[in-house]
Structure 1
Amino acid sequence: MTGSSSSGRPAAGDGHYGEDLFEPEHPREAERIDAAALAYDPVTTSRLRSLGAGPGTRCLEVGAGTGTVARWLLEEAGVEEVVALDRDTADLDDLAEPRLQVVTADLTDESLRPGSFDLIHARVVLMHLPERRRLVSRLANWLNPGGWLVLGDAVEVPDALDTSSAYRRVMDAMWLALRPTIGTDTSSVPAYPHFLREEGLRNVAAELVCPPLVAGSPLARFWSETWSRMRPALEATGQVDAVVIDEALAYLASPRLAELGPGMVMTWGQRR
């Protein structure tokens, strides 16, 4: 594990999501991603529709994943064109749609020139990337006049009275492990509205969405699969062992489950 930063948090690692953790070729990775999509797509698509996603709009879906939002934009919202951008686009092969342009690329690639858009959406992307503030500027510069930038990333809302349960210990160990392995950092997510304002966007607003964490729900399955896949990294933190991880996994599947799980801050702003 790498050393600590001056803030006391582990220094960000130089690994990559999809390489050092959560490899796309893993037989259950698409299922894990889709579980999170089932929890968050309803609020995401509702917000995109309220911001004008519809006929005549050209949209950029950053970190398209398995394509659930891109499919909604095409089939439900009826947008004119969707550019689906991701480092791995194998899961988009079944979206045979002439209005879909699939771009296999890294958002941090300076040579990337996808054009301009009426709507840009990036969910659970920037939190895994270095220089995320610069990337916000980059995305904002790809907007057409009047276009919307919509960012969604995770935040924790921990119970300050619970510092020792297996659930809390494993969740804390997960965040501790993600930063030095693949660079995940959610500390700046609450500042996204300020970032959009600094980019000159107007009508900036944000909301925090915490879907219910219920045993057997898609969100519970997502965290269960995430922790199961991260076992070596979790134990490497020195904060939890196999017994604690097993207890936390059993709790996620138990009717005793009673937690306010991590949520997503969704922030949006409009180019002048």
Structure 2
Amino acid sequence: MAGGARPSHQARPAGDGRYGERVFRPEDRGEGDRIDLGALAYDDTTMARLRELGVGPGWTCLDVGAGTGTVARRLLREAGVAEVLAVDRDVRFLAEHPEPGLSVLEADVTADGFSPGVFRLVHARFVLMHLPSPERMVAALGGLLAPGGVLVVSDAVDLTTDSAPVTPYTTAMRAMWRGLRDSIGTDVSRVSHYPELLRAAGLGSVAAEIHVPPLVPGSAISRFWADTWGRARAAMVATGLVDDARIDEAVRCLDSPQCTGLSPGMLTAWGWRGEAAP
């Protein structure tokens, strides 16, 4: 992508694969560790927001796409919630460490009839961007809220836009977003619309924020992206925007103090069912 026009990943139709099938398969060695690197980068921000929203003792919580369960367990241990139902299409990482108050459900949240109950908190992080209809999912998850409950959704926002400098890092990141869209339908272009989707779902007191962790050599977020590129390498190369050598160069860039790129941010949006925010 060095020089010339920069074709947008939004211009191509989304792929028909699914997260966890072609790439990021839970059975692949080290996938749980990759997820945990993302948790190290983002969990503190997530927990700070949930505490600010008043999540605490007595709350019942649904954690959608719970991964290795780091947020679910911190809700129990730190926020003191009553119970957490952690849901994922593959629960092998969740089932490894049982905990009082933590229930695990293997399910596809996009399936018709998914209705595990009602909850004071419904939380989904890095889930909707991989699904074909975030509008439908926001409405469905909002329907699982008890009166006075809050829906909190977080996803990635791309900061390697056309106005960003062309560097090994930005070139690899653009190729990753294009490759993931082409192969499994990941689309981060819709994430900035989440507040409007929450309002359209009938939720009130809607607000949003963005957190961008710094790219520091050896940091959890830098290691997360290097590992993510490794697992998405074939999809990235298939775009024609990078080859193996350019991906390797971008990995070296991440481990250099000279890297000046911006990591994708995490946009978190929330809205309340039936009652204003406390």
Shift of 1:163: 4.6
Contact 1:163–1:169 under 8 Å retained in 2: no
Q: 1:229 aligns with which of 228, 231, 250?
A: 231
Cα drift, residue 91 of structure 1: 0.6
TM-score normalised by L of structure 2 = 0.92
1:268, distance to aligned residue in structure 2 (A): 0.5
Bigger Cα displacement from structure 2, 58-67 vs 236-245? 236-245
How many angstroms apart in 2 are the aligned matches of 1:185 and 1:159? 14
Match of 1:195 in 2: 197
Equivalent position of 2:121 in the other structure: 119
1:162 deviation in Å?
4.2
1:152 corresponds in structure 2 to 154
Q: Secondary structure at the match of 1:187?
A: helix
Please give the secondary structure, in 1, of the residue aligned with 2:176.
helix
In the other structure, the counterpart of 1:138 is 140
Other-structure match for 2:186: 184
Give the SS at the match of 1:193: helix
Whether the 8 Å CA contact 1:36–1:222 is kept in 2: the answer is: yes
- Structure 1 pair 8–159 and aligned structure 2 pair: CA distance change class (3 A): closer
Distance between the aligned counterparts of 2:196 and 2:163, measured in 1? 30
Shift of 1:95: 3.1
Partner Cα separation in structure 1 for residue 220 and residue 62 of structure 2: 26
Residues 165 and 176 (structure 1), Cα distance of their counterparts in 2 relative to 1, 3 Å cut: same
Spell out, residue by residue over 1:161-211, the C-alpha distance to the aligned partner (whole angstroms, 9 max, x if none).
545321111111111100121110011111111111112211110001101
RMSD: 1.4
Aligned match of 1:4:
none
The separation in 2 between residues aligned to 1:55 and 1:95, in whole angstroms, is 22
SS in 1 for 2:205: strand
Q: Deviations over 1:214-270 (max 9, x none)?
A: 111000000000111122211111111122111101111112122111101100011
Runs of 4+ in 1 over 4 A off after TM superposition: 159-163
CA distance in 2, matches of 1:36, 1:77: 21
**Cα separation, 1, equivalents of 2:182 and 2:96:** 35
* Equivalent residue, structure 1, for 2:168: 166
> Which of 105-114 and 118-127 deviates more?
105-114
Counterpart Cα distance in 2 of 1:172 and 1:158: 7
* CA positional deviation for 1:97: 2.3
Q: Which runs of 5+ in 2 are unaligned?
A: 1-8
1:248 correspondence with 2:244: no
State the alpha-carbon separation in 1 of the partners of residues 196 and 243 from structure 2. Answer: 39
Give, in whole Å, the separation in 2 of the partners of 1:161 and 1:127. 22
Distance (whole Å) between structure 2 residues aligned to residue 8 and residue 78 of structure 1:
42
8 Å contact kept, 1:214–1:258: no
| Contact residue 215 and residue 254 of structure 1 kept, 8 A | yes
Q: State the match for 2:97 in structure 1.
A: 95
Q: Secondary structure at the match of 1:61?
A: strand
Partner amino acid for 1:223? W
- Letter matched to residue 209 of structure 2: E
Q: Residue deviations 1:114-166, cap 9 Å, x none? A: 10000010000000011111010000011011000000000112265545321
Q: Could you say what secondary structure the match of 1:111 adopts?
A: coil
Taking only the aligned residue pairs, the percentage that are identical comes to: 53
- Contact 1:35–1:219 under 8 Å retained in 2: yes
Distance 1:8 1:171 in 2: 14
Q: Which runs of 5+ in 1 are unaligned?
A: 1-6
Q: Is the 8 A contact 1:201 1:270 kept in 2?
A: yes
**Letter in structure 2 aligned against 1:189:** V
| Greater mean alpha carbon deviation, residues 163-172 or residues 131-140 | 163-172
Total equivalences in the alignment: 266
SS state at 1:188 partner: helix
TM-score (norm 1): 0.94
